[in-house]
Each structure stands twice: as structure tokens, then as C-alpha cells.
Chains A and B, each alone.
Chain A
């Protein structure tokens, strides 16, 4: 067989690598800033773009899609070429992918800070960017499959199985969850409403963690760990079993983000059990990683790359045990909405994703520049700073979450709630401070890495095209008796299709009944669509990212009903495009805030939260008092809502603004009575209208029922 000579493209790997480093620092800075804002709200600078509600989505998107995203592409572009014994299919597509992705990130940063958001966590980007993501993802897919199809290696290595599953599942998740109807350029409403939107969103949200933060990184682990340790992978059959069980089970687990909510009980239970069954498939990856190091543990003491990997894999094991335990209802009852979850995800984010990325960079840079690392000592310092940073980050937050939850749930023997919500926040401020110290250490470590890598690069010469040679696959190959799984390893397209089938099942079983079976979302007749003013106010609520700190979902617990009111029902959210249940309570739940305070309270509170609740850590929103409400968008919004099935009467879009003005005037009048001069055309009026509406419809039904029984 003729041996062919070819070159690996290292340039594209270098580009993605640089992007990884830049966005690591940017994403972490955004996170640190947001973390400081929680105990020092003044650091929001009283500016809309830098306030927590917009900064937090920027942080999560930057870390997930910019930092980890670029890290994945770096690793895939490097390893895929070598595992397939082929240059990437098309250099042009590689660069379209690279620049496309960076443009998306830039667009995301700008639009998120400007307040363009769909209000769905980790899927905040608006519809034009969603389309761009889809296109770039397809480019990546073509380039990846092109490379796989022209490979000179008969079988696909386990890392590539993970890449394939990642690609196909992310495509599915992104497309299904991003179904939205545009109102204008940069504004859309989710196709789904309320409970259904929540189910789709957390099916997406959970599996973004699974298939963006986990499976591709596992693929990277399967390439870089044996390379760095120079050891054979521990167990091929463990790879097979844990790969298929992982991707099949993961997709079901989304509803564990919605335990005790208005989601039907059966879906919640599926979320719980499938999360629990995930423990061992996840641990399969951990074991296969750690056991690969058998016999070279002395090397781990020397080699920073392996050090980072060992802690990363251990963190992976810890958070994939913790996750399923958090999915048990009685644990979720304590942990959900608290900082426990924040700690949990950062064990995964800082430990698993961050450390794997660092390990990969420390491995790749010397390789591609044909030199050795500038300073192992500096890398070891980075390792320790990072590790201590993770501990200082996570431990205080576990403590904070647990304490706060217990405070929420404590009653006096007389049967009253013992603590005001605010007390539970001020009590954990010291933990928030410690957490930001941990984050700072971690960031300093990353900056050390930048310096170390820059020095390494300076002393090496970049190998842009790395020569390699291999024989092509013989056309008529004979396959004697082989392990059954070896067959599919020769068939990338079959692999793709089978993976897709495996990951579709869970979503279909959970979603189809929730969408089609009426009894899952019992109708409440008194629940009516929002008025035009309330709808505009709701869009402001979404724009300012209120959902990043406030939930709108009262769980059926004694303490929550006592604190917030009647627990939330599925039928209350049927007109909520998108749903705004939230996932964290840095502030109290707002599901029944309507009518709880006077209009003037909200007005003063938005201007300066501490004026109404001294000690509050909520940022001020003074611009809402000055901004004029954009009523030009009202008719279009009404029309889109009608298309989505919201029963506004025919032709309502034409009179909507008249109704809007009347309601605004009424609120403005009430404020005047309380000695507040607020013109009716300000955004704050719309927001107040929305806040005063939330969760009140169901009370009308109760009132009607009470009146009826009084008549009898």
C-alpha cells in the first residue's frame, strides 16, 4: 500500500487556542464582577448594561460558548486530524467556522449588554444570532464529517464518538429550544408557553451542560490524557458501555431542574430517576480516565498537565455524583433556588471544564511550537491557585445555600416564619465575599497561565503545517470476525444516525404528552392574557434579566405558601411566552407579587431599593424612571402573540395602544396621589403594571367562588 504524505493544519488550532485564552479571562472577569455586585450593588455603576441582570447572562454565555466552546474546537481540530490521519476537510470551512463563531460571540456580548435577550437561560441570544449559530454549527459539522469521511484510519476512536454525539445533539437542542416568533429585528417570543416552555428550556439547559460541557470534554480527555500520560486507555469496553448509556440517559434528566414546580409529577419523577441512573455512566468516564493513569502516578507529581487533568476528572466525578443526589426530591427541596446550585455548577465549570482546558493548553502550546513549557513551576503555582480558588469558591456557597434554605424554612413555634427574606440574604453576605476571593485566585491563576504560555510561544517556532504520513484505507477491506461494536466504529454516518435516535427518545417521551395531553396543564378560566401595558412591562422584566435573581414559581411547601402565597399552578402560565420561573432566588419569589405593595412602593423601590427595604442588595434601576416606553412595537407584539395562540380579540392590535395609554394614565394618577410625579409614558409605569398583575388572576377565581358561596 502506497503511503501518503500530508500536513496537519495547526494554524486553525492556534487561532481557536488564542480565542480560548482570551475568552477565559473575559468570561471570568464578567463572573467576578457579577459576584461582587451581589454584596456591593453600587458596583453596577447604576448603568443598565453593567447591572447584574445583564452581566450574569454575559458571564454564563461567555464561559459556556466562548471559553469552553473555543476550547472544544481547539481540541477537536487538533485531535480529529490526528485520529483520522488527515488534514481537516477544508481549510476554508475551518476559517469560516472560526470567524463565524467569534463574530457570534462579539454579537452576543453587545446584544446581551444592550438588553436583547429571549429570557431563557443559556439560550438568551435573540433570533438572528440563533440562526447564525445554526449555520456555523452546520459548517463545523460538514468540516468534521468531511474529515472523518476522508480518514486514513479504518475505525473511529472513542473521542470521535463523543464528538459526533455532541454535534448531533447540540444541533437538535439548539433548534428545538430556539423556536421563536420574531416581533422585530432582535425581539422575539418563544414558541412555547409556561409549563411547556419550561420543559423545553430545561431539556435544553440540562443537556447544554451534558453535550456542550461534558461529552466533548470527555472526548478531549480520551485524546489528551493517554497522550500526556503515555499510557493505554484503561478499558475499551468501559468506553462503549459508558458512552452509549451516558448519551441515552442524559437527555431525560432535564426535569430535575423543575422538581416541585407546576410541571406534571410524572415528568418530574422521570427527571429524578434518570438523573440517578446517570451516576454510573458518568463515573465510567471518570474511572476510565483515572485508571488510565495506573502505573504512572509518580508522573502526576511532576507533570502539570496531568495534575490539572486529575483534579478535573475528580471534579467531574464529584459533580456527577452530586447532580443526581440533587435530583432527589428531598434534596432538591433544600438546594433549589439557593447558592448550593451555584457551587455545584462551579465544581463542574471551574474544576472540570476550566482545568481540562488549562491542561490541554499546557500540552498543546509546547507541542505546536516545538519546544518545552517555559516554566513548570509557574504552571504548578497556577494549579495550586486554581485548586484553592475552587475550594474557596465552592465551600462558602455550599454553606450559604444550606443556611439560607434552612432560614427560609424555619417557623417559630407559634407558626410564623422566623426570618424575613432579606435577613436570609444579609446573613450570607460574608460567604459571598469569600466566594469572590476564591474566584479572584482562580482568575490570577489563569493570568499566570497566559504569561507562561506567551513565554513558551516566544521561545519556540510555530509549526503551521505538521508533516505526517499514512496509508489510505484499502477499498475492499476484509473484516474478519470482530467485536460487534467495531462494526459501527467503521461507519461514521450510521454512528451519527444511531446517536441521534438514542438522544431523541428521552425528549420525545417527555415532551409529546406534555404538549398533547390536556390534563397535564389544567385550564384556569380566570387566567387572562396580559394587557398591552403589562405585556410591555413584562418585556422590560425580561430585558433587565430579573429572572436571574427572582423566581416566579411558588413550590407547594408550607414555608413558601406562608411567605409568598398560594403555590403556583400549571394553568397560570399559559400566556407566558417565554416562561420566567427562574432558577435562583437572590431576591424573593415574585409569582404573587401582584397587589402585594402599592404602586408607589414599586416606583421608589426601582429608583432605590434600599429606600423601601433597608439592606437590600438589589441594584437600582433609575433609567426605568426616565426611559420612554416604546409603544410603537405594541401592535406587532399583539399580532405575534395572537399567532402563538393568545386569545386577543380580532383587530386588538389596532386599539392596543389606546388601552395601554388608559392603563398607564391610571397608574400615573395613583402615583400622583402618593405625591409621585411620573409621566404615564415611562417604562417604569409598564413595569409596575406587569408586577401588579403577576399571579393575581387566580385570586379573581377565588373571589368569585367566595362571592358565590356568600350568596348561597
Chain B
């Protein structure tokens, strides 16, 4: 247990020094998402190697003991392990070197903000790690197979149950007595099983993740905080909308809007009016909570451009609608409002605001008196 702990600490430390070593020469290396992913991947693979290594050592020990009992001969597989570990530490050292070597290899070509050298180096470290894992798996399998043929006992090939048992370092239920503690509480006994390895390493991984997380947000400032994230997203969205509108050729806004008498536009406008405006202005435009839209008096201007602006941006109690409707739709509903002019609905609200004479559209209503 403590042996494994100290080993792990060693690995983590060597791993993280590798990560930090990659940092200084290219200040953004650790801030770079790709670099971080790769470093994390390296660390995870290191952990995998470590776990597999432990499994292999365990297996080898078992086999060794058995063989010792039989007769003392054959090469102890531990040698293989030492070799592997050596290889591993070499790769870790190599990682350390990458940092100092890097400025020499001033390569204009970059991969996601990493210099080509660092990128390829990291990739090759990962490949080496994968290779080591393969070798380890191969060794474990060979040992297991030998075991199986010898014992000719455990069920055929790979079984999920057996794998799960190894992942948890389960002790067979029959051998429980060996690890039962010498106390009991109201008849409850306790075993002293080891911590499930995947559980323990999982815990370490979350701790490593947390350190990197805090580092990125609050030390290196390489990940955007809430408000920065917001600004970036708005910028991006604005670009997209602009591109979309340009491509579509839709350019109407408060400076260019004109009254439309097109039946299609007015029908669309009416639809929106019914959905959004009737709650305050009533279905006939006579006004209720909001002002009367059919008379000659306007609180915020009665020309189409003013009406468009009032709808789009809102004013005082009038909500803004630019977030709900496009400019084209606002133009349609504004035209519909203009079309309501002079309809003189029953029970309309008293006039508010300033007199505005509509220019040409209909002359008849311009002469109509106040609805007082």
C-alpha cells in the first residue's frame, strides 16, 4: 500500500515536472488546450502503465513463488519489469529534455499553437507509452495463459468477472478469514480489504485534474472566466449573424424601413401582432395597457421609422422586440400597425402624445377629429 503510494507520487511528480518543463520556453504551452490534452493523456497513460506494471509484478511474484516451491530456476520475470520501468523513466527524462531543446528547433510550422517539434515529441512519447502498454499487456497475457494451462482451473479465456476481480484486488470470499479484523460491533465484523486500485487512482486523477483546472483559470489565465467567455460568444455570434444576413441580402433596418402595403407582409405582420402586441394594445389596436395605435397621436413618433424603432428597441413600458423578431418581421408588424390607422375601434383609449399627420397613405382619417 505505502509502497504503491510512494511509487505513484514519484510518477506524478515526474509527470508534472515534464509538464512544467514544457512550459517556460514557450510561455503559452501549458495554456494551450492541445498541449494540456496531450500532457493529460501522457499522465493517464503513465497511470495505466503503472497499474499494468503492478498487475504484472503481482502475477510474476505469484508465479515466481510457485516455481520457487517447485524448483529454483528460470529467469525471474521481474527482470522484464525492471527493464520496462527503466524504459519508462527514460521516456520521462526525455520529456524533460524536450523543454530545453525546444527553442533550438525554431520551426515556423505550428500545430494548434505548439511548435512542430514539441507536437511531434509529445505524440511520440504517447506512442512509446502505448507501445509499453502493449508490451505489458502481452506479458500479462502470456503469464496468465501459462498460469491457466498450468492450473487448468479458471474458466475459459477472458472473463469480465475475473477482470473486475483484478480491478478491485478482490480476495476470494473463502480466504476472508485472513483479513478479518479482530473486533466486532454488535455482531458486525470488518474485513481489511485493500482499497480498490481503480478507485484510488481515479481519486488521484480527479486531484490532478483539479490542480490543472485551478492553474488554468487562476494562475495562467489561459481559460476564459465567465465574462470573457460571454464576450467571446457574443462576438462570434455577431459575426455569424452578419455573414448570414449578408449572404441572404436582407438589409432592412430603422434607417431604410418603408411602409409596406403588400398583402403578404401585412398578413405576417398581423400574425406577429396577435402573438405579441394584443395583450397591451388590444386586438383592434384601440389600446388598453398600452396606448391607442389607431389615432393620430403618438408618444414616440408616428412615422414608420419611429414605430420601427419603438418596437425594436422598446421604450419605457414598451418591451424591446429585437431579441424575439428579425428586422424584417418588425418592419412587417410596423406596417401592420400603420394599416390600423383610422380604423376608429369601439372603446378605444384616449389619445396620448403628440399629433402626427400621416403623410399620404390615407387622407380621410387625417381629417378625423380626436376621439374625445
Contacts of A600 in B (CB 8 A): 288-289
A417 to B245, CA, bound (A): 16
Contacts of A227 in B (CB 8 A): 186-188
The winner among A79, A238, A600 for most chain B CB atoms within 10 A is A238
> Which residue of chain A is the closest to B209 with respect to CB atoms?
A276
Contacts of A561 in B (CB 8 A): 230, 234
The chain A residues found within 8 Å of chain B, CB to CB, are 79, 82-83, 85, 153, 155, 157-158, 223, 226-227, 232-239, 241, 245, 260, 265-266, 268-270, 272-274, 276-277, 279-281, 283-284, 287, 291, 294-295, 411-417, 420, 555-558, 561-563, 567, 595-598, 600-601, 604, 612-613, 674-675
The winner among B213, B323, B326 for most chain A CB atoms within 10 A is B323
Question: Could you tell me if B218 and A157 are in contact, using CB atoms closer than 8 angstroms?
Answer: no
Contacts of A241 in B (CB 8 A): 195
Closest 9 A-B residue pairs measured CB to CB?
Answer: A556-B230, A273-B210, A415-B241, A280-B203, A235-B193, A232-B189, A598-B317, A157-B185, A414-B326
Known: A232-B189, A233-B189, A280-B199. A612 touches B279 (CB 8 A): yes
Question: Could you tell me if A416 and B206 are in contact, using CB atoms closer than 8 angstroms?
Answer: no
Contacts of B206 in A (CB 8 A): 276-277, 279-280
Question: Could you tell me if B180 and A232 are in contact, using CB atoms closer than 8 angstroms?
Answer: yes
Question: What bracket does the count of chain B residues touching chain A fall in?
Answer: 35 or more
A284 to B168, CA, bound (A): 12
Contacts of A79 in B (CB 8 A): 186
> Which residue of chain B is the closest to A281 with respect to CB atoms?
B203
B367: interface (CB < 8 Å): no
The winner among B168, B193, B217, B322 for most chain A CB atoms within 10 A is B193
Known: A232-B176, A277-B206, A674-B289. A597 touches B319 (CB 8 A): yes
> Which residue of chain A is the closest to B250 with respect to CB atoms?
A414
Within 8 A of A (CB), among B307-324: 316-317, 319, 322-324
Known: A227-B187, A558-B234, A563-B323. A237 touches B227 (CB 8 A): no
Question: Could you tell me if B230 and A601 are in contact, using CB atoms closer than 8 angstroms?
Answer: no
Question: Could you tell me if B225 and A237 are in contact, using CB atoms closer than 8 angstroms?
Answer: no
A441 to B326, CA, bound (A): 46
Partner of A272, one of B183, B213, B233: B213
Q: Can you offer 9 A-B residue contacts whose CB atoms are under 8 A?
A: A227-B188, A238-B195, A276-B213, A280-B206, A287-B196, A420-B324, A558-B230, A600-B289, A613-B279
Contacts of A233 in B (CB 8 A): 188-191
B356: interface (CB < 8 Å): no
Question: Could you tell me if A413 and B323 are in contact, using CB atoms closer than 8 angstroms?
Answer: no
Q: Taking the nearest CB of chain B, how far is it from the CB of A71, in angstroms?
A: 20
A476 to B73, CA, bound (A): 55
Q: Taking the nearest CB of chain A, how far is it from the CB of B222, in angstroms?
A: 13
A-B contact sample (15 more), CB < 8 A, given A226-B189, A236-B191, A280-B202: A85-B186, A153-B185, A232-B176, A232-B188, A235-B190, A269-B213, A269-B217, A277-B210, A294-B173, A295-B173, A414-B241, A414-B327, A415-B240, A417-B324, A601-B280
B138: interface (CB < 8 Å): no
Question: Could you tell me if B280 and A598 are in contact, using CB atoms closer than 8 angstroms?
Answer: yes
Q: Taking the nearest CB of chain B, how far is it from the CB of A9, in angstroms?
A: 15
Partner of B226, one of A155, A157, A236, A556: A556
Contacts of A414 in B (CB 8 A): 241, 244-245, 250, 326-328
Interface contacts (Cβ under 8 Å), in number, total 163
Question: Could you tell me if A415 and B237 are in contact, using CB atoms closer than 8 angstroms?
Answer: yes
Contacts of A260 in B (CB 8 A): 226
Contacts of A291 in B (CB 8 A): 168, 193
Q: Taking the nearest CB of chain B, how far is it from the CB of A517, in angstroms?
A: 14
A600 to B349, CA, bound (A): 14
Grouping DSSP codes into helix (H, G, I), strand (E, B) and loop, the A interface class, with mixed when no group exceeds half, is helix
Q: Taking the nearest CB of chain A, how far is it from the CB of B37, in angstroms?
A: 15
Partner of A416, one of B209, B279, B322: B322
Within 8 A of A (CB), among B219-244: 225-227, 229-230, 233-234, 237-238, 240-241, 244
Contacts of B173 in A (CB 8 A): 294-295
Partner of B323, one of A266, A562, A567: A562
The winner among A232, A266, A613, A675 for most chain B CB atoms within 10 A is A232
> Which residue of chain B is the closest to A330 with respect to CB atoms?
B229
A415 to B328, CA, bound (A): 12
> Which residue of chain A is the closest to B205 with respect to CB atoms?
A280
Contacts of B185 in A (CB 8 A): 83, 153, 155, 157
A567 to B225, CA, bound (A): 14
B77: interface (CB < 8 Å): no
> Which residue of chain B is the closest to A294 with respect to CB atoms?
B173
Known: A273-B213, A276-B210, A414-B245. A82 touches B195 (CB 8 A): no
Contacts of B213 in A (CB 8 A): 269, 272-273, 276
The winner among B173, B280, B322 for most chain A CB atoms within 10 A is B280
B23: interface (CB < 8 Å): no
Contacts of A273 in B (CB 8 A): 209-210, 213-214
A158 to B188, CA, bound (A): 11
Partner of B191, one of A232, A269, A280: A232
> Which residue of chain B is the closest to A236 with respect to CB atoms?
B190
> Which residue of chain B is the closest to A270 with respect to CB atoms?
B214
B123: interface (CB < 8 Å): no
Question: Could you tell me if A265 and B181 are in contact, using CB atoms closer than 8 angstroms?
Answer: no
B207: interface (CB < 8 Å): yes
Contacts of B328 in A (CB 8 A): 414
Question: Could you tell me if B180 and A237 are in contact, using CB atoms closer than 8 angstroms?
Answer: no
B150: interface (CB < 8 Å): no
Q: Taking the nearest CB of chain B, how far is it from the CB of A77, in angstroms?
A: 14
Question: Could you tell me if B289 and A567 are in contact, using CB atoms closer than 8 angstroms?
Answer: no
Contacts of B327 in A (CB 8 A): 414
B120: interface (CB < 8 Å): no
> Which residue of chain A is the closest to B203 with respect to CB atoms?
A280
A412 to B199, CA, bound (A): 45
> Which residue of chain A is the closest to B325 with respect to CB atoms?
A416
Known: A83-B185, A420-B324. A567 touches B279 (CB 8 A): no
Q: Taking the nearest CB of chain A, how far is it from the CB of B316, in angstroms?
A: 7
Contacts of B210 in A (CB 8 A): 273-274, 276-277
Contacts of B289 in A (CB 8 A): 597-598, 600-601, 604, 674
A420 to B323, CA, bound (A): 10
Question: Could you tell me if A277 and B207 are in contact, using CB atoms closer than 8 angstroms?
Answer: yes
Partner of B195, one of A235, A415, A598: A235
A153 to B183, CA, bound (A): 10
A558 to B239, CA, bound (A): 13
Contacts of A287 in B (CB 8 A): 196, 199
> Which residue of chain B is the closest to A414 with respect to CB atoms?
B326
Contacts of A612 in B (CB 8 A): 279
Question: Could you tell me if B202 and A279 are in contact, using CB atoms closer than 8 angstroms?
Answer: yes
Contacts of A234 in B (CB 8 A): 191, 193
The winner among B188, B230, B327 for most chain A CB atoms within 10 A is B188
A561 to B189, CA, bound (A): 59
A557 to B229, CA, bound (A): 8
B113: interface (CB < 8 Å): no
A277 to B212, CA, bound (A): 13
Contacts of B280 in A (CB 8 A): 598, 601
Partner of B237, one of A268, A295, A558, A601: A558
Contacts of B193 in A (CB 8 A): 234-235, 237-238, 291
A82 to B194, CA, bound (A): 28
